[in-house]
Amino acid sequence: KNPKNYGYDRFDPIVELVDNHALAATKEHEKDIETLASYLGVFGKRYSPANEYLQVRAIYSWITHNIKYDKPALLDGVTSDNDAVQVFKNRKAVCHGQANLFQAFCDELKIKCHVVTGPVKTRFIEDEKLVEHAWNAVEIHGKRHLLDCTWGCMVDDKKNKVDPFRYAMNEFYFLTPPELLILNHFTKDPDLQL
């Protein structure tokens, strides 16, 4: 896995600063989506024009560390409320809720973003069957990129399987090259498959 993704170096010291900033959000910063979006976007706003990459990175980092996958919904097939405000309040969601929350943060920061839906090959079930999933397409400095906050907070084990019950930020699903994401994420909209 190449640490460089679309010209952005994940090991650049500013990326670590942005991640640490996102994880240092206090209850005061987290009182609502608007306030937290403003806090998360502060690094990117220091640049002119605003550095959308740093803002997107802060959002991804915060969501993958603070929004847990709704395990009972996964196991019972009962989906929770996927509204961004409810996901933010409950701090858990299935994939659609996490994608909606990511879009809500982007909307606050005036970053173009779409929720992408379609079948994925499930990597945490023995037989690789297709199930419905949601992730995001986000525009950074005029170029669209793909990311998946849900799979981005799940740990890959040694067999390259996603474990929905262990959490750690997975870099692979941040601005994943489309030619790699298409190996397991499919959408009927070719414009959003990139």
Residues annotated as catalytic (active site), given as ranges: 95, 133, 148
Half-sphere exposure of 40 (CA within 13 A, CB side): 31
Distance CA 193, CA 135 (A): 11
Cis preceding-peptide flag for 49 (omega within 30 of 0): yes
CA dihedral of 147, 151, 156, 160, whole degrees rounded to 10? -80
List Cα–Cα distances, 182 to 50, 71, 173, 190, in angstroms.
Answer: 30, 25, 12, 11
User: With the C-alpha atoms ordered 148, 150, 151, 152, is the resulting torsion angle positive or negative?
Assistant: positive
Contacts of 82 (CB under 8 A, 6+ apart): 93, 94, 96, 97, 100
Euclidean distance between CA atoms 114 and 99, whole angstroms: 9
Q: How far is CA 69 from CA 39, 43, 167, 168, in A?
A: 24, 27, 9, 12
